[in-house]
Amino acid sequence: MIKAGIIGGSGYTAGELLRLLVHHPEVNIDFAYSTTNAGKSVSTVHQDLIGDTDLKFTDVVNPDVDVVFLCLGHGNSRTFLEGQEFATHTLTIDLSNDFRLQGQHIANDKTFVYGLPEFFGEEIKQAKAIANPGCFATAIQLALLPMAKAGKLPKEVHTNGITGSTGAGVKPSATTHFSWRNNNISWYKPFTHQHLDEVGQSINTLGDTNSKVIFIPHRGNFTRGIFTTSYFKFEGDLTKAEAIYQKAYENTPFTTLSAVEPHLKQVVNTNKCLVHLHKHEDMLMVTSMIDNLLKGASGQAVQNMNLVFGLEETAGLQLKGSHF
């Protein structure tokens, strides 16, 4: 069995990670580290786990685990690793943005591999440290990277996306509490969202192109999920575009090209990404959608762990969405 530790156990992503690992057939959770909740039962904080585990939070770290997941706020993972050594065999998976970009991807002599399995799976399998992609970055890349890899992505791409309130974290803010979010929608960080850097990095890595993604993110009045639409000029017909995506995703267990117009409930509570293509005159629109806490965070982290330890990629992740 894989012995796992979790650093930072009280947030939404940690809660989802605990839920997945408690039921994973090949994992034992050795510890869940939280200085604010040390001594408390995990199920008192993540109440969906009542009856599933008697694990308690701790303020003691076991450095000899097989894998450690960092579920800390952005900027805190690097600081934590500077003060904490793990065994040389320990796989480190970071769910923050601290190590995703080239030039920022080394800590404690470990080089972090970018953890998007659909396009970097072989590198992930050999990794000792993995930087889990951002949630919006995951959805956007799975929409655009097949075209980038095929050399068909133009210089300018427009993307709109909407995310649920869990994307902003567990601590309430002026734009996440119920009274503000309910029956409301707004944009934020137009053209400057932090996930654009990793999207551009992957596009350049796979396609050797300088395509610019012009991205407008929105806050939605729902709890979880990301729905994006990207559109750009494409000279071929729809059949040609579909062939590019079918080739890209023919062996990927979680990312699927959908022939029917998809909707968000198909992926919520799953590790899936559904991609749909629509052609209008010379424009191709690519829709992609994920659960921001699963494929956009904890589910993808477990998927990466599965790859490193030679497990079935789907182990512990065969979750079903809700159609209604």
- What gap in Å lies between CA 321 and CA 324, rounded to an integer? 9
Query: According to the model, what pLDDT value does residue 172 have?
Result: 67
Is there a contact between 14 and 72 (Cβ–Cβ < 8 Å)? no
Query: Within a domain: residue 323?
Result: no
Question: Do 205 and 194 belong to one domain?
Answer: yes
- Asked if 64 and 202 sit in the same domain, the reply is no
Residue with tokens 């000029």: 233
Q: Would strands 129-131 and 91-94 be described as parallel, antiparallel, or unpaired? A: parallel
Residues 86, 155, single domain; the answer is no
Q: Give the count of domains, the chain.
A: 2
Residue 220 lies in a domain: yes
Active site residues: 135
Buried/exposed code over 193-212 (b: 16+ C-beta within 10 A; e: otherwise): bebbebbbbbbeebbebebe
Contacts of 208 (CB under 8 A, 6+ apart): none
pLDDT at 208: 67
Write out the residue range of the structural domain in which residue 160 sits. 135-292
pLDDT at 209: 75
Asked if residue 182 belongs to a domain, the reply is: yes
Query: What CATH number does residue 58 fall under?
Result: 3.40.50.720
Distance CA 129, CA 95 (A): 11
Q: What is the pLDDT of residues 66-78, one digit of tens each?
A: 999 999 988 899 9
CB 292, CB 166: distance < 8 Å: yes
* Per-residue model confidence (pLDDT) at position 207: 83
For the chain, list residues with pLDDT below 50: none
Measured CA to CA in angstroms, residue 127 lies from 43, 83, 113, 121, 124 at distances of 32, 22, 6, 10, 5
Identify which of 215, 124, 224, 126 has the alpha carbon closest to the alpha carbon of residue 167. Answer: 224
Instruction: Please indicate, yes or no, whether residues 94 and 241 belong to a single structural domain of this protein.
Output: no
Q: Which residues contact 56 (CB under 8 A, 6 or more apart)?
A: 32, 39, 40, 41, 42
| Nearest 10 degrees: Cα torsion 241, 216, 198, 142 | -30
- Indicate whether 49 belongs to any domain: yes
User: Parallel, antiparallel, or unpaired for β 91-94 and 27-33?
Assistant: unpaired
Span 185-215, pLDDT tens digits: 999 999 999 999 999 999 999 986 789 999 9
Query: In angstroms, how far is the first alpha carbon of the chain from the final one?
Result: 36
31-51 residue pLDDT tens: 999 999 999 999 999 999 999
Do 165 and 246 share a structural domain? Answer: yes
pTM of the full predicted structure?
0.95
Do residue 288 and residue 222 come from a single domain? yes
161 and 75 within one domain = no
Helices 135-149 and 117-125 pack at an angle, to 10 degrees, of 100
Q: Which pLDDT belongs to residue 182? A: 87
Is the four-CA dihedral 212, 218, 223, 229 of positive or negative sign?
negative
What pLDDT is recorded for position 323?
A: 66
CATH number at residue 233: 3.30.360.10
pLDDT at 324: 63
